[in-house]
Structure 1
Amino acid sequence: MEAGLNIRRRDLGTLLAGGSLALAGCSDAGGSSDRVLFSADALPDGYPTVEAVKFMGKYLAEKTDGRLTVRTYPGGQLGSEGSTIEIAMFGGLDMTRTFSAALNNIAPLTKLFSLPFLFRSTAHQREVVDGEVGEAILESLTDYRLRGLAIYDTGGRGFYTTERPIPHPSALQGLKIRVPNSDIYLATIRALGANPTPMNFSEVYQGLVQKVIDGAENNWPSYISTRHYEVAPYFSETGHFMTPDMLIMSLRTWENFSPEDQALVKEAARASVTVMRNLWDQRVADSKAALLASGGEMLSDINTEPFRELMGPVYEQFVTPELKPYLEEIERIAEASA
């Protein structure tokens, strides 16, 4: 552990030194100096978000004849999501991809996307995050020394269990379900009648094998890539959370760009969303095929209304007056698309 930590600190020191030099070179109001943007991701190389940021780098390089480029550090090379957010806030890192729930204690408006059963479908979610609501959430980060650039999918989360599928909340009664250590996630699983069990994600496989937990909840790619399907072969597509990822930039970096380069960076980030979604959709399809090929069971077309009806206490606890107008707009979009 100590050896790995020392390597990480050394790499981070190099990053900070390089980033400081790059920022100094970018102080020119015309934004004419060469600039390498350093970007972190806790997810592994090849993951859709990592590939999307690589695409963003190529896009910028092509548009600026190599003046602006991106260097990616996937696989947690620069630390956890929480630590890279903090480093970006203080100007030591240009960009990082993070689960939006990791921003909940920093930027209150991001709590909106952590609410259960917020979106009716993937199409509904994409329409919301691509529109005024999504932009408002991204812009709200400027008050916390960050600049939101793009919102990436993480898919609908479902329950995967060792003994039975979950067609109705009653099937969750008494089950020990692993959840991230998030107040909203804990409250949601408790409201559905299960016993929420916070646990490090790396411990879930063994927890399922040893029956410490009866199941967990996550998206399709995570379920398959961790081989959790080997011990929990029932996946129920409840879509209870559709909490997205965000690509964020240090406000210090953002403010060192000219207005023209700011517009170009935002354009490149938006273009990367399409790349990410295409890769994500294919990975979800491949994951479903992998489960079925293994003999597992997928439960789709679940009536989510009985689940939604239990969410009243969760919304009462976590929806602030600040969030209510956004909820109303998300509901309006859903009704208009019905």
Structure 2
Amino acid sequence: MISKYILKITLIVTTIICLQGTAIANEFTKKIDHLLLEKFQPNATGAVFLVAKDGVPIYRKAFGKANIELDVDMKANNVFQMGSMTKQFTALSILILHEQKKLDVNDNIAKYLPNYPNGENITLHHLLTHTSGIKDFTKMKTLWAVAKKDLSPQELVDFFKNEPVDFNPGEKFKYNNSGYALLGHIVEIASGETYEDFVEKQIFKKLNMKDSRYANDREVIKNRAYGYHNKGQYTNRVMVSLSIPYSSGSLMSTVDDMLTWQQAIDKHLLVKQSTVEMAFSKYRLNNGEPISYGYGWHLKDLNGVPTREHGGSIFGFKSMGVYIPSQNLYVIGLTNCDCNSPTQITRNIAALFIENS
């Protein structure tokens, strides 16, 4: 009799807890909807957002249009160009090779590119942390002269390697796409494979990220979201050769695959924990000043809580992902207009959970 009573009470308590959990989840959904519906209109370019707690999606919605001309609604499984979120994959590719002893992050780049100016004083670590001082090729006025040309990695490196440096290696932090282009080329030299093939085999296939790939404007890509600009009115994005952003910004993915990626990083599925921790260490300049960038991730905080995050911007697209290790919370937003950055709103969504934790 007592056991039946205890069982009944347990069922009642469990039901109340479940109802409370559902109510809390519904409240979060309403708050997130409110933020996103204000920013993304049904008949305009759109976005996909995903929020995951402990690896499980608790919010996953699409907004706006994947293709304005054909009046195609955005879907949650649409494929976007991610821009600089590519740097996470380039950094992990370097760490995979580091763990395989095919290179070392403390190697100087002259070991792989003997004719690179001052290469004996610039290390892979400098490239990974944006502290090399190399000129960012995306800031060069002559970029448009090659923007539509299909360059080999060596030709891309040759395009910027003789530019005056901004500072000596390790003196400052300055976000730099050239460094990550060099890293992609070094991945190729150390592995004997193209950067595209290396990332496909060593990351995408191993993690079953079926909707992730090196971007291509010629091939038919299922569920592709089309990119746009808006300077007073919508226009199709400017087309550039994807050999130019290369390993600093040429990958495509979905919010679901990016959650798979985040979980793989967290569970050390590609490299061991001690190797992954190299990506999330806060490094210092030559003078001892700390920087807030590891290897492929910004290491910041949100309302005093440490985060790992990175955004991306490439013609027609913007992206942002925020991971809060202490809560195992991942928020990612992908948009198909470079007029509509998801950066702040992604951080605002993450902040909602911090405020209620």
TM-score, normalised via structure 1 length: 0.26
Scaled by the length of structure 2, the TM-score of the pair is 0.25
Bigger fraction of residues in helix: 1
Q: Which has the higher Rg, Structure 1 or Structure 2?
A: 2
